[in-house]
Amino acid sequence: MKRLQKVIPGGNAALCISSISPILIFAAALLFFLPTGLSSAQDVRKGYSAFVWKDSSGQIRRLSDYRGKIVVLSFWATWCDPCRHEMAMLADINRDYGRSVQLLGASVDDENSQDKVASFAVKRRISFPLLLGADTDQMRAFELGQAIPATVLLDANGKIACRILGALNKGDLRRLLDWMLGSRNDLDPPLLMNGFNKEKGKSASLPAFIR
pLDDT single digits (tens) 121-167: 999 999 999 999 999 999 999 999 999 999 999 999 888 999 999 99
Q: What CATH topology corresponds to 3-198?
A: Glutaredoxin (3.40.30)
Higher pLDDT, 188 or 99: 99
Residue 21, beta-bridge partner list: none
Model confidence at 120: pLDDT above 70: yes
What is the pLDDT, as a whole number, of residue 1? 41
CB atoms within 10 A of CB 34: 14
What is the pLDDT, as a whole number, of residue 19? 45
Helix-helix angle 81-97:170-181, to 10 degrees: 40
Q: Can you give the pTM of this predicted structure? A: 0.78
* Helix, strand, coil in percent for the chain, rounding step 5: 35, 25, 40
Model confidence at 57: pLDDT above 70: yes
What is the average pLDDT score of the chain?
A: 79
What is the pLDDT, as a whole number, of residue 174? 93
H or E stretch at 118:
helix 115-123
- What pLDDT digit, counting tens, does each position of 2-20 carry? 445 554 555 556 788 664 4
What is the pLDDT, as a whole number, of residue 108? 97
Model confidence at 53: pLDDT above 50: yes
Model confidence at 22: pLDDT above 50: no
Task: Indicate the burial class of 13 (C-beta count within 10 angstroms; 0-12, 13-18, 19 or more).
Answer: middle
Q: What are phi and psi of 160, to 5 degrees?
A: -70, 120
What is the pLDDT, as a whole number, of residue 126? 96
Q: Give the up-direction half-sphere exposure of residue 93: CA atoms within 13 A in the CB hemisphere.
A: 28
CA dihedral over 39, 143, 115, 101, signed as positive or negative: negative
What is the pLDDT, as a whole number, of residue 48? 57
pLDDT band, very low/low/confident/very high, at 195 (cuts 50, 70, 90): confident
Instruction: Taking residues 34-39, report their average pLDDT.
Output: 38
Lowest mean pLDDT among 18-27, 79-88, 109-118, 133-142: 18-27
Q: Which long-range contacts (CB under 8 A, 24 or more apart) does 90-95 make?
A: 90/126, 90/128, 90/168, 91/124, 91/125, 91/126, 91/127, 91/128, 92/170, 93/170, 93/173, 93/174, 93/177, 94/126, 94/127, 94/128
Model confidence at 78: pLDDT above 90: yes
Name the DSSP class of 163.
Answer: E
Q: What type of residue sits at position 200? A: K
H or E stretch at 176:
helix 170-181
Q: How far apart are CA 60 and CA 127, in angstroms?
A: 16
